[in-house]
Amino acid sequence: MKKEDSEIHIFFIFWGPSEAGKTTALEYIYNNVPFLKKGELIKIEDEKGSTMMFDFVPFVILPEDEKSKVQVLFHCYTVPGQEQYSDRRAIVLEQVKYADGFIFVADSQMTRIKDNLESYKELKKLTKKILGKEIGKDLPMVVFINKRDLPNAAPVYLIKKIFDHADAFFETVAPRGIGIIEGFKKISELVLLRLLRELGEEE
Amino acid sequence: MGLLRSLFRGLFQESRIKIKMNLTREELEMRNSALIEYIRLNKATERLRCMANDCTMLYKQGFIDNAFFNTVMVETMKRAQQLIPKSGALKSKLVQLGIPVDLLEMINKGLYDNVSKHLVKLGIPPSIFNSL
């Protein structure tokens, strides 16, 4: 989190193995936020649509109360999921040094269980090394168990077993938006509650 | 939890922005300079996007290496972090000062011909659109 005059900036990162649906999930959220409350969605991708470096979009939450002048900005990022881009994921984490919460997008397919596990292990390692924080302890994380509509989707309990520190799980189908908004609300809630506590302004 | 609920209602619902009528001379000037700034930010974002796309293409074709690609992308990221939240936050202020949402969307989509017509109506020389 970053506080600037009348603005509070909160940073979210979508993490997970390649092709799990990180960009699709972010796009679904983007498409459901009204025009006046979102900035441009910038995507650094190749011709096949794979993220090469990051996606980024800010959302602006205007104060409902006219007297309040505090604006909350949600900055959302994705990382490239492909195994060989570990250096780039580290770079994104270094750049988003104020990261407040993570959305881990897991691929439900039986054949991707190992990839989810490797990606989660890397997330834990990098957050500790770069941010000096631990998933679960210092950083809230929700898991989108994505692609639940596929016939080869692994049982949910099997995917849940991968994560030793997750605040909540959501069964999702990103292109159809199933579970996406709910999951995003949950991570926002977890992060905001933590911040309110830190700021000593808990309601 | 009241604050949290209101924040989420705020994010996914259309804004209830009160449009200010009968702007003073100072407010009109402020509105026009904010609109020019919005155009500038949008055009800068578009240039950034093109540059990032070109760089990605060059990397994929093997003309630049991983280290150089990463360096360019870090700069792209820093620039995007500066530009995009600013233009996002300006939108509601502009609507409050009477700029139609349609015009902001046209600027956002880079529909220069249509934008020019609106700028004339607002007393802004359309040539400014190309000079930014």
**Range list of H helices, chain A:** 22-32, 86-95, 113-126, 156-160, 180-199
Eight-class DSSP state of A131: I
Stated pTM of the model: 0.93
Task: Answer whether A61 sits within 8 Å of B95, measured CB to CB.
Answer: no
Task: Answer whether B88 sits within 8 Å of A40, measured CB to CB.
Answer: yes
Touching B: A residues 9-48, CB under 8 Å: 9, 32-40, 42, 44-47
Touching A: B residues 60-119, CB under 8 Å: 60, 66, 69-70, 73-74, 76-78, 80-81, 84-85, 87-89, 91-92, 95, 101, 104-105, 108
Q: Answer whether A58 touches B (CB < 8 Å).
A: yes
Residue B12: exposure state from Cβ atoms within 10 A (0-12, 13-18, ≥19):
middle
Which tens digits make up the pLDDT trace of B53-101? 999 999 999 999 999 999 999 999 999 999 999 998 899 889 999 999 9
CB-based contacts of B72, cutoff 8 Å, min separation 6: B51, B52, B55, B64
| The pair of three-digit structure tokens given for residue B91, joined into one six-digit string | 């939108």
Residue B17: how many CB atoms within 10 A of its CB? 15
CA angle A128, A134, A138 (to 5 degrees): 135
Of A74-83, A86-95, A105-114, B85-94, give the lowest mean pLDDT range: B85-94
Eight-class DSSP state of A162: T
Q: Which residue has the tokens 């607002």?
A: B122
Q: Which residue in chain B has the smallest CA separation from A47?
A: B57
Task: Answer whether A64 sits within 8 Å of B91, measured CB to CB.
Answer: no
Which tens digits make up the pLDDT trace of A118-176? 999 999 999 999 999 999 889 999 999 999 999 999 999 999 999 999 999 999 999 99
| The pair of three-digit structure tokens given for residue A30, joined into one six-digit string | 């983007």
Cα separation, B120 vs B19, in Å, equals: 21
